[in-house]
Structure 1
């Protein structure tokens, strides 16, 4: 441990993990990444941005290995690159050394790593076999990954706008109720908004969605047990997200061998696309149940 540095424990590191994460990260990466994080935190002064840069460099090494047809080496280096990428956020939360620039660097570094590894994998196999399908594979992996990362923040933005509009509607309702039903109340409409409207927002929206999608609420006992298992282990309910997609294409398939590259990547890509379609469908239901109200400054259009 460096002189003057605090001694962190493994429990400290575990406390920095995300509340929910992908099953690949929880079961196959975090057990390694947490112990590496503990060592880095106690024995080095490396910053989160330094870890992000190291992850990107390792990603480039993985892409070069794929480009030379070294599938096993490329898969192992990609795994290490992703493990290091998981460490930067843990170090940032553990030491409080995260920066706004680090968020951008981590986001862009992930995209560069995936695109370069997809290009290296496609190039290496095309040079070896002359099969143009590998070029299509590389392009497909890059397009799917970029679509997912363009789509995710837009869906988040839509949900935030809908929630804000719903909150404004609940606040207006609470203010009207306070003015009409409780004129003698000591509480102001603003205090009613913060105490009642905000507390009910996260309850009313999910309940409305559940009423709109009754089939989704009829889970079997096995499904409920599986959900509780996921919750205990911090696992998101998605079968395949972008992380599992990357793991399938750049770790699992190369370790199995050349014959697995196309089928494994295609299956993983289809599952990822289905997951994105499902998320878009859920967002669409969300916007229908809680419609976005017009901005109060917008004047209605009058046709002449």
Structure 2
């Protein structure tokens, strides 16, 4: 696609998203940062892509300074990779997973480089955030009450838990960014005439049955390994693996709800509400585990005959 007002508009959107990084909106807009880059790379030649992106980066450099150039460069890599896969019409699921994996690898490399070369201390950074957040509490309750509640010990425990769950957080964040990007980019590219493969309907989602075995093994270790399951390397693995598996079961349960809605001809509002309910009623994730372990959908289909 040659220069077109559509691509110019996406360049403007890209610039506005980058500007939002200096505002509190960055918590939300970071989920959409890959979208303009993916669309521009997929619909343009490499030369045209550079001609669209470089002016945006130069303008950002002029307005915000060199520090903020690093962020768009960071997100351009997965944008280009996902855009290339859309161009080559790779399967949608592979595109999403490769995009998420790229973001995750970048997270890990960024953390590694920051720690090794710049003496970045993530634990200290999190502690500073906790201290800043708890300052109003200290002011309102008074130092005597705070010390009486043994705040330091609780703060240390919270800090340790936050640091240990970083792999889980990075994984879920990577998947979320890639999923949001695909959800917006694929239909947009189709509307622009770019043929891109669709993912299977969400109701047909079936995660590997091996996940159930992983969860059972993790549960057994937690029950019988004692303190070893809460400390050290094993504890760190479990504290990330178990929530990640539960997150997968939640997704599987949501797929089952949409499958039920499709089979039973329910209104789509019902599976959406059931999915939202899982966020507040956490034990409902076990429905996803049962859906993977047992042929629930086959039983539902047979019951209609």
Q: TM-score, normalised by structure 1?
A: 0.36
**Bigger helix fraction:** 2
Highest Rg: 1 or 2? 1
